[in-house]
Chain A
Amino acid sequence: MSAETSTAQTAPAPAGHDDGHHTNYVKIWGILVVLLVISVAGPFLGHPVVTLITAFGIATVKAFMVAKYFMHINLERKWIAYLMVTMLLLMVLFVGGVAPDVLKHEGLRWENVAAKESVIKGNAAGEAAEHGGGEHGAAPAGEHH
């Protein structure tokens, strides 16, 4: 680190891109908090599609805002953003390649019997715990067996 930091020490304004933008960071923070409130409130409407949007749609918006206004990714060279998107796409690729085997429990001439059984068992244990009453009775699956 010696070489490049030694010059930076002497430079008065080392941080890269302070090129006259005056973002009001407190305002951005306020918007983020409002978005957070919406994402918490979403499930109270009781509609699964609404919850999906308020949970993950808003998370995406928040992520975008943090990346843009806090991390200043838009002020970096363009390839930085492309690199981040590429990494995310790799994860989409991973999930896309794996989901047919792991998310699904049956396919073309194959069936994941163990996974299906574990879902049935988990459902049964969950229902039993719910009818067993109250927060304290809701012991995790497995303890009932």
Chain B
Amino acid sequence: MPVGDCLNNFSACLVRGGASPDIANFISILLGVVLVATVPLVTVIFLIWVERKFAARVQDRLGPNRVGPFGLLQTIADALKMLSKEDITPIGADRFIYNLAPIISFAAVILMWAVVPFTAQHIGADLSIGILYFIAVASIGTVKIMVAGWSSNNKYALLGAFRTIALLLSYEVPLVLALLVPVLIAGTMSMQGIVRGQLGMWYFFMAPVAAIIFFVANLAETGRSPFDLLEAESEIIAGYNIEYSGFKWGIFMASEFLHAFTAALLAAVIFLGGWSGPLAEQIPILGFFYLGLKTAIFYLLSLLIRSTVPRVRVDQVMAFNWKFLVPLSIVNVLVTAFLLKVIQTLGLAPAPDRATDVVANLPQTAVLLVGNLVVIAFALWLTRRGVRAERLAEMEHEEEAVHEMAHSHAAAGD
């Protein structure tokens, strides 16, 4: 079908229409770039509505429902309101970098969409280092916080920025270590390669520990609850973006929502199989639809956690990261590498011509799954032992205190 062909392979279509191959290539790449840059912008408008409705329903209220059918146009109304506000720059703030921070914030998130494989044939740029690119771009996001915190000329903004940077830099470590596991299993860092490696069995079943660690580290990286302390409204009054008002604040908020969605999108691509599904390769639009469904699973899960779980303190957050997540992710990588070697020696890996068959992947999946469950059981046992020791020590202290009070009462009574 000519239309289908044109949708899937635009430059070939242009060449057939008579354009020179160079210009056809250039136009098709330009179109790809424009699409990859504008689809997130349009998505974020819908996302904010989803977020508000979901949080509202969890809290037993209705959410926006006046502006447009079901409140769908509420985000546009908010954007118009923010556009019409006065553009304030605080006295003593560094004008240039004060205005630069929201731009870096949004750019860092949209850059992540360049490596997401939407269908089998449509991807922004199929880099051979796709996952590493994602991590590198995520680490650019920390620059914006420093710049925003400093240029506001406000010590609370600076304190908030310090806390935020400490949190983000710490949680990058388990994020990277958890991403090593799908790379080990797939043998490639390219996103399209990882999705193709999952045509037989999703990596979520082969590496659940890595998926959970990736999910939790992303919750911390994007500043969602329970790691909400980046902008804890009741405590540090919006942290590093206190001094931002109007549309600049709107850009910060939009980039945060988009970052959360992008993290869910990448989790779906890396662990749930991306665009793979029945008939996804023949009808590309179906692959897009599957990807949307899988992203929705992770995204709605993160929304649910945000609306229900209380905030953690900054020292609890750091202890959780360095004493639990980092050792767990290191052990996970070691166990997975060892088991992969065992699988290779025993010959349990599926033969290359049967790599997309679910049944052929089962032995490998079973071995890796057992390994992961052993790691989870060990981690839970260690945690239980530690918590129990703490609780017993507390109970002993209480008993001692009660004893002392009884003694002093007896001594005073005599």
Q: Do A and B come from one complex?
A: no
Q: Footprint of A on B, CB under 8 Å? A: none
Q: Footprint of B on A, CB under 8 Å? A: none
